[in-house]
């Protein structure tokens, strides 16, 4: 008896399933499927759970669609004498559907709309229940007309979405009115069939979309993560509905909050009601990200972010604020709330504009493990570094500290000055695993 046969006898399929899921690449998993039929029976279903994904990257795979096509039961398309039926029922294994890759792979095969709809029937007839559904903003530009035609028909197969746990609906279409109507239709359809979504990423540009998204949020039993991306002030309806998930929400993200696909319009989040209830008893992560060095945020929602930090200070562990403003906002109260109220904070990334704000962060008594600070050009780098001499480094043992100094050409410290500062810092003999200073 070979060693492979001995392994097969000792390990049940459940153990192989666990082992195969931890393999680092699809290539490794594919190699396992070639060992013998027993291994193939364990590996093939895992490979075909997400057939449009290789090594964490989604791609176009026209051949996947060609394989699915072999299962269409019509006299015109399937004839046992002409087409060999595959060894496995590959469509039945599908768990993750990136609709953009699926659709564009079908279009790459020159399949008409009717044939694409037949592919939906294949999935429905096999009682496929998706766990992840992606409608990505960046990849639906292949043929917008077909998108308008086939996406509503996919939503008619509501059984596909009953066990959905992850939804990414951040796509953008060229025809604005049509895409607004379609996206609201998507949210409303999913609200009727999906009640177990854990993670939602969404973009809303109109009142109808926002109300429909709010309906979807309220229909969930246990929403844990919510990300609002590339949206405008209409999204306030959706934000207010998050209170229905106050008992479960632990991750809240606002990213590139604007209304323009070219990233050239500033944030409108300051229209959100500041008096809204932003209390989430289990919130552990808060992120607000906007633009880059060439794209500036005209009005970071400092007051709203400050309220969220203060009302959830006992549970929050991760704060990432990454915006770029020409005119520094008054965020001292926000920084003060972070420094004085967050008792379990482990990771902090934020821009700072005054030495007072930096001093507040350095005096904090929380459990920081990662400190990532963007220091604006109004702060003298030497003065900023000098504050670190008296910093209580015992709160940052074995930590990663990163400082970014912006445009300080008139206050650029010389090497001897930096050496003097760091000698005084490390002279204290505190344990620091990593530190990075970028000028």
pTM for this model (two decimals): 0.84
Q: Which range (3-7, 103-107, 336-340) has the least confidence?
A: 3-7
Say if residues 101 and 58 touch (Cβ distance below 8 Å).
Answer: yes
Q: Which range (198-212, 223-237, 355-369, 404-418) has the least confidence?
A: 404-418
Strand order across the 434-438 sheet: 96-98, 132-135, 166-169, 199-202, 225-229, 251-255, 285-289, 318-322, 347-352, 370-375, 400-405, 434-438
Contacts of 76 (CB under 8 A, 6+ apart): none
Please give the mean pLDDT across all residues of the chain.
Answer: 78
Report the pLDDT value the prediction gives residue 123, as an integer from 0 to 100: 93
In this structure, how many other beta carbons lie within 10 angstroms of the beta carbon of residue 15?
Answer: 12
Report the pLDDT value the prediction gives residue 341, as an integer from 0 to 100: 92
* Domain limits, the chain: 1-47, 250-439
Mean pLDDT of 390-399: 60
Adjacent-strand bridge partners of 322: 289
- Report the C-alpha gap between 406 and 390 in whole angstroms: 23
Report the pLDDT value the prediction gives residue 432, as an integer from 0 to 100: 45
Report the pLDDT value the prediction gives residue 311, as an integer from 0 to 100: 94
Q: What tokens does 121 get?
A: 């029937």
- Report the C-alpha gap between 249 and 218 in whole angstroms: 12
Q: Which has more pLDDT, 223 or 184?
A: 223
Catalogue the E-assigned strands of 211-274: 225-229, 251-255
Q: For residue 258, give the DSSP letter.
A: S
In this structure, how many other beta carbons lie within 10 angstroms of the beta carbon of residue 365?
Answer: 11
Q: CA-based angle 117:122:124, to the nearest 5?
A: 95
Mean pLDDT of 318-328: 85
Contacts of 4 (CB under 8 A, 6+ apart): 35, 36, 39
- Report the C-alpha gap between 147 and 179 in whole angstroms: 10
Contacts of 132 (CB under 8 A, 6+ apart): 50, 95, 96, 97, 164, 165, 166, 167, 168
pLDDT, tens only, 201-232: 998 888 889 999 999 999 999 999 999 988 87
pLDDT, tens only, 92-112: 999 999 888 888 888 888 888
């Amino acid at each position: 008896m070979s060693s492979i046969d001995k392994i097969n006898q000792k390990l049940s399929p459940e153990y192989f399933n666990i082992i195969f899921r931890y393999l680092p690449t699809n290539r490794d998993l594919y190699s396992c499927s070639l060992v013998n039929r027993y291994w193939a029976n364990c590996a093939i279903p895992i490979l075909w759970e997400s057939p449009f994904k290789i090594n964490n990257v989604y791609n176009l795979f026209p051949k996947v669609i060609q394989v699915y096509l072999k299962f269409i039961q019509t006299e015109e398309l399937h004839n046992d004498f002409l087409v060999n039926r595959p060894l496995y029922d590959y469509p039945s294994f599908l768990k993750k559907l990136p609709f953009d890759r699926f659709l564009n792979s079908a279009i790459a095969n020159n399949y008409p709309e009717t044939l694409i709809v037949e592919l939906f029937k294949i999935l429905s007839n096999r009682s496929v229940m998706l766990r992840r559904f992606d409608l990505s903003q960046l990849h639906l530009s292949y043929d917008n007309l077909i998108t308008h035609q086939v996406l509503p028909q996919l939503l008619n197969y509501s059984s596909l979405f009953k066990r959905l746990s992850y939804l990414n609906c951040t796509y953008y279409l060229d025809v604005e009115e049509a895409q607004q109507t379609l996206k609201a239709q998507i949210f409303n359809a999913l609200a009727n069939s999906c009640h177990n979504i854990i993670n939602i990423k969404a973009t809303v540009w109109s009142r109808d979309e926002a109300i429909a998204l709010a309906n979807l949020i309220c229909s969930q039993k246990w929403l844990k993560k919510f990300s609002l991306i590339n949206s405008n002030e209409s999204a306030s309806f959706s934000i207010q509905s998050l209170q229905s998930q106050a008992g479960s929400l632990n991750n809240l993200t606002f990213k590139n909050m604007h209304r323009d696909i070219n990233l050239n319009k500033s944030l409108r989040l300051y229209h959100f009601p500041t008096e809204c209830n932003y209390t989430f008893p289990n919130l552990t992560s808060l992120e607000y990200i906007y633009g880059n060095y060439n794209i500036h945020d005209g009005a970071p929602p400092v007051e709203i972010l400050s309220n969220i930090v203060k009302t959830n200070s006992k549970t929050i562990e991760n704060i990432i604020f990454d915006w770029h403003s020409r005119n520094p906002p008054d965020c001292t109260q926000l920084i003060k709330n972070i420094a004085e109220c967050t008792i379990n904070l482990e990771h902090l990334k934020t821009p700072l504009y005054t030495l007072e704000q930096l001093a507040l962060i350095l005096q904090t008594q929380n459990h920081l493990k990662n400190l990532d600070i963007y220091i604006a050009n109004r702060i003298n780098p030497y003065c900023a570094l000098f504050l670190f001499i008296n910093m209580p480094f015992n709160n940052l043992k074995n930590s990663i500290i990163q400082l970014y100094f912006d445009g300080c050409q008139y206050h650029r410290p010389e090497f001897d000055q930096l050496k003097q500062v760091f000698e005084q810092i490390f002279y204290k003999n505190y344990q620091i695993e990593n530190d990075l200073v970028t000028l």
